[in-house]
Structure 1
Amino acid sequence: MNVFYEEEGTFKVGAVLADNMTSLQVEAPHGKRAKIKAASVLLRFDAPSLTEFMDVAQKKAEDLDPNFLWECCESEVEFASDALAADYFGDRVTPEEAAAVLIRLHSAPMYFYKKGRGRYKAAPPKALEAALASQEKKRRQAEQQARYMQSLSEFVLPEEFKPSLFNLLYRPEKNSVEWKALDAVCAAMKLSVSQLLQKCGAIPSTHDYHLNRFLLEHFPEGTDFDDLGADQLAVLPDLPVADVTAFSIDDVTTTEIDDAFSVTPLTLGSFRIGIHIAVPTLGIAPGSPLDKVAEQRVSTVYIPGNKITMLPEPVIQQYTLSEKQLRPAVSMYLDVADDFTVTATTTRVEQVKVAANLRHDTLEEQFNESTLAGGNINHPFGRELTALWNFARKMEALRGKTNDSNNERIDYNFNLHGDHIVITERRRGSPIDKVVSELMIYVNAEWGRLLADSGVAGIYRSQGNGKVRMSTSPAPHQSLGVSQYAWISSPMRRYVDFINQRQLVGLLRGEEPPYTRESESLHMFMRNFESTYEVYGDFQRSMERYWCLRWLLQENVQVTGAQVLKENLVKLDRLPLVARVASLPELPSETAVEVEISNIDLLELTFSIKFLRKLQA
Structure 2
Amino acid sequence: MVNIPLNVYVAYFEKGILNFGYVIAQNNNRLEVINETGNYVVLPESRIILQSKERYLEIEPYQALPNFINQVNLFEEQFQESDFHFLKEKECTLQEIATELNLQTDVQIFALFKYLHNHPKEIHRKKNKYRLKTPEEITQYQLQLQQEEEERQFLQDVNAFFSGAELSRESQHKLYNALPELQTAKKHKKLKELILSKYPLLKPEEAILEFRKFCGETPEYIDPVIANAGIPIGFSSLLIEEKLLPWKATKPQAIAFSIDDESTKDFDDAISITKDGSFWHLTLYVSSVSERLNLEGALFAEAKKRVSSLYTANAVIPLFPFNHSEQELSLKKDSVRPVLALNLWLDENLAIQHYELSRMNITISENYSFNEIDQQIEQEPFSTLYRLSKLLAEKRGANSFSEKEHYYYYISASEQGLEVKCVDTQSPARKIVEELMILYNSYLADYAVKKNIPVIYRNINQFEDPKDNFLSLQAYLSTEPEFHPGIGANAYLHSTSPIRRYVDLINQLQISAILQGKNPPFSKEELEKDIPLLEKRIYDIREIAHKSERYWVLKFLQQNCQNIPLETYFRTSIDDYLNFELIPWGFIITAKSESYPKTERCKIVIYKVDPEQGIVWVDII
TM-score, with length taken from structure 2:
0.61
What letter is aligned with 2:225?
H
Percent of aligned positions that are identical: 21
Greater shift after overlay, 490-499 or 277-286?
Answer: 277-286
Describe the shift of the 1:226–1:247 C-alpha distance in structure 2 as closer, same or farther (beyond 3 A).
same
The runs of at least 4 consecutive aligned structure 1 residues that moved more than 6 Å come to 75-78, 120-125, 169-173, 176-183
Describe the shift of the 1:205–1:351 C-alpha distance in structure 2 as closer, same or farther (beyond 3 A).
closer
Quote the Cα distance in structure 1 between the aligned partners of 2:286 and 2:200: 56
Which one of 223, 226, 232 corresponds to residue 237 of structure 2? 226
Quote the residue 2:581 is aligned against: 571
1:303 aligns with 2:350: no
1:452 aligns with 2:449: yes
Spell out the pairing of 1:91-170 with structure 2 (5 A cutoff). Answer: 126=40
1:266 aligns with 2:252: no
Describe the shift of the 1:608–1:206 C-alpha distance in structure 2 as closer, same or farther (beyond 3 A).
farther
Contact preservation (8 Å) 2:269, 2:285: yes
Quote the Cα distance in structure 1 between the aligned partners of 2:298 and 2:519: 21
| Secondary structure at 2:285 match in 1 | strand
Which one of 519, 523, 528 corresponds to residue 528 of structure 2? 523
Quote the Cα distance in structure 2 between the aligned partners of 1:258 and 1:403: 29
Which one of 472, 497, 505 corresponds to residue 504 of structure 2? 497
Which one of 589, 598, 608 corresponds to residue 617 of structure 2? 608
Q: Deviations over 1:537-584 (max 9, x none)?
A: 222222221111111121143331113456764311254531356755
Offset of residue 278 of structure 1:
0.5
Q: Deviations over 1:108-142 (max 9, x none)?
A: xxxxx669xxxx9999995699xxxxxxxxxxxxx
Quote the Cα distance in structure 2 between the aligned partners of 1:315 and 1:325: 14
Quote the Cα distance in structure 1 between the aligned partners of 2:395 and 2:547: 37
Q: Deviations over 1:476-513 (max 9, x none)?
A: 22233332211111011111100000111112222211
Which one of 510, 533, 544 corresponds to residue 538 of structure 2? 533
Which one of 410, 430, 434 corresponds to residue 437 of structure 1? 434
Contact preservation (8 Å) 1:305, 1:416: yes
Quote the residue 1:210 is aligned against: 225
| Secondary structure at 1:433 match in 2 | helix
Which one of 549, 556, 581 corresponds to residue 554 of structure 2? 549
Contact preservation (8 Å) 2:590, 2:615: no
Quote the residue 1:186 is aligned against: none
What letter is aligned with 2:362?
V
Quote the Cα distance in structure 1 between the aligned partners of 2:31 and 2:542: 65
Offset of residue 287 of structure 1:
2.2
Describe the shift of the 1:249–1:397 C-alpha distance in structure 2 as closer, same or farther (beyond 3 A).
same
What letter is aligned with 2:318?
T
Q: Deviations over 1:67-119 (max 9, x none)?
A: xxxxxxxx9878xxxxxxxxxxxxxxxxxxxxxxxxxxxxxxxxxx669xxxx
Structure 1: where are the runs of 5+ without partners? 1-74, 79-112, 130-161, 184-191, 198-203, 613-617
Describe the shift of the 1:178–1:604 C-alpha distance in structure 2 as closer, same or farther (beyond 3 A).
farther
Offset of residue 360 of structure 1:
2.9
Contact preservation (8 Å) 1:225, 1:312: no
1:351 aligns with 2:348: no
Describe the shift of the 1:423–1:606 C-alpha distance in structure 2 as closer, same or farther (beyond 3 A).
same
Contact preservation (8 Å) 2:334, 2:365: yes
Quote the residue 1:188 is aligned against: none
Offset of residue 237 of structure 1:
2.9
Quote the residue 1:61 is aligned against: none
| Secondary structure at 1:287 match in 2 | coil
Offset of residue 339 of structure 1:
1.9
Greater shift after overlay, 491-500 or 316-325?
Answer: 316-325
Quote the residue 2:391 is aligned against: 394
Which one of 475, 478, 482 corresponds to residue 471 of structure 1? 478
Offset of residue 315 of structure 1:
2.7
| Secondary structure at 1:422 match in 2 | strand
Quote the Cα distance in structure 2 between the aligned partners of 1:455 and 1:536: 31
Describe the shift of the 1:556–1:511 C-alpha distance in structure 2 as closer, same or farther (beyond 3 A).
same
Describe the shift of the 1:509–1:114 C-alpha distance in structure 2 as closer, same or farther (beyond 3 A).
closer
Quote the residue 1:341 is aligned against: 351
Q: Deviations over 1:21-57 (max 9, x none)?
A: xxxxxxxxxxxxxxxxxxxxxxxxxxxxxxxxxxxxx
Number of equivalent positions: 425
| Secondary structure at 1:218 match in 2 | coil
Describe the shift of the 1:179–1:254 C-alpha distance in structure 2 as closer, same or farther (beyond 3 A).
closer
Describe the shift of the 1:206–1:333 C-alpha distance in structure 2 as closer, same or farther (beyond 3 A).
closer
Quote the Cα distance in structure 1 between the aligned partners of 2:340 and 2:355: 13
| Secondary structure at 2:348 match in 1 | coil
| Secondary structure at 1:232 match in 2 | coil
Quote the residue 1:560 is aligned against: 566
Contact preservation (8 Å) 2:389, 2:435: yes
Quote the Cα distance in structure 2 between the aligned partners of 1:341 and 1:287: 43
Spell out the pairing of 1:373-384 with structure 2 (5 A cutoff). Answer: 377=378, 382-384=379-381
Which one of 286, 290, 306 corresponds to residue 281 of structure 1? 290
Quote the Cα distance in structure 1 between the aligned partners of 2:404 and 2:608: 35
Contact preservation (8 Å) 1:303, 1:544: yes
Quote the Cα distance in structure 1 between the aligned partners of 2:402 and 2:520: 39
| Secondary structure at 1:507 match in 2 | helix
Describe the shift of the 1:206–1:348 C-alpha distance in structure 2 as closer, same or farther (beyond 3 A).
closer
Contact preservation (8 Å) 2:223, 2:548: no
Greater shift after overlay, 547-556 or 601-610?
Answer: 601-610
Question: For the aligned residues, what is the CA RMSD?
Answer: 3.8
Offset of residue 303 of structure 1:
1.4
What letter is aligned with 1:264?
T
Contact preservation (8 Å) 1:546, 1:605: yes
Contact preservation (8 Å) 1:459, 1:471: yes
| Secondary structure at 1:227 match in 2 | helix
What letter is aligned with 1:384?
P
Quote the Cα distance in structure 1 between the aligned partners of 2:299 and 2:264: 21
Describe the shift of the 1:597–1:292 C-alpha distance in structure 2 as closer, same or farther (beyond 3 A).
same
What letter is aligned with 1:242?
Q
Describe the shift of the 1:408–1:212 C-alpha distance in structure 2 as closer, same or farther (beyond 3 A).
closer
Q: Which has the larger Rg? A: 1
Quote the Cα distance in structure 2 between the aligned partners of 1:555 and 1:347: 51
Q: Deviations over 1:218-256 (max 9, x none)?
A: 22xx6123233576222213556323x411011122222
Quote the Cα distance in structure 1 between the aligned partners of 2:246 and 2:199: 54
Greater shift after overlay, 321-330 or 551-560?
Answer: 551-560
| Secondary structure at 2:506 match in 1 | helix
Quote the Cα distance in structure 1 between the aligned partners of 2:353 and 2:371: 34
Describe the shift of the 1:122–1:287 C-alpha distance in structure 2 as closer, same or farther (beyond 3 A).
closer
Greater shift after overlay, 596-605 or 303-312?
Answer: 596-605
Quote the residue 2:491 is aligned against: 484
Quote the Cα distance in structure 1 between the aligned partners of 2:496 and 2:585: 30
Contact preservation (8 Å) 1:272, 1:335: yes
Quote the residue 2:409 is aligned against: 412
Quote the Cα distance in structure 2 between the aligned partners of 1:177 and 1:350: 55
Quote the residue 1:421 is aligned against: 418
Quote the Cα distance in structure 2 between the aligned partners of 1:416 and 1:473: 42
